[in-house]
């Protein structure tokens, strides 16, 4: 998985591309580390743009839950934007939309 970060107004957007799998567990702390500076600068939304994500496995779904929990701990609203195809189906099957805000 590759990710690119952009700051826009009150949000930080992280665009995920490729595959989010167990082997990417070492990249998630990089996203978590952004939460402290976000909170200090007044950014209150973390947007994970998944429109370019091709695949997510169960470990990747677990990583989303970890990010959600860490964002809540920093009083930051996490939003998942644009999951499509198999990624969207995986998120729906895991019923993550009950915990995480999903935007089209």
Asked if 3 and 17 touch (Cβ cutoff 8 Å), the reply is yes
18 pLDDT higher than 90: yes
32 pLDDT higher than 90: no
Report the percent of the chain where pLDDT is more than 90.
75
pLDDT at position 54 is 97
pLDDT class of 42 with cuts at 50, 70, 90? confident
Per-domain residue ranges for the chain? 2-103
pLDDT at position 65 is 95
Q: CA–CA separation, 23 vs 48, rounded Å?
A: 19
Helix/strand/coil for 1: coil
Topology at the third CATH level for domain 2-103: Transcription Regulator spoIIAA (3.30.750)
Q: CA–CA separation, 102 vs 104, rounded Å?
A: 7
Nearest to residue 17, comparing CAs of 46, 56, 50, 66?
50
For residues 1-29, average pLDDT: 91
> Which tens digits make up the pLDDT trace of 55-65?
999 999 999 99
The pair of three-digit structure tokens given for residue 47, joined into one six-digit string? 């947007």
Q: Which pTM does this prediction carry?
A: 0.91
The stretches of the chain forming alpha helices (DSSP H) are: 28-32, 35-41, 58-73, 85-93
């Amino acid at each position: 998985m590759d990710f690119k970060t952009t700051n826009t107004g009150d949000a930080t957007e992280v665009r995920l591309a490729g595959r989010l799998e167990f082997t990417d567990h070492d990249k998630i702390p990089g996203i978590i580390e952004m939460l402290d500076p976000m909170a200090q600068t007044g950014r209150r939304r973390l947007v994970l743009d998944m429109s370019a994500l091709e695949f997510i496995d169960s470990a990747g779904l677990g990583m989303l839950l970890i990010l959600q929990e860490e964002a809540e701990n920093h009083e930051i609203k996490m939003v998942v934007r644009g999951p499509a195809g198999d990624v969207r189906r995986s998120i729906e099957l895991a019923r993550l939309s009950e915990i995480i805000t999903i935007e089209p």
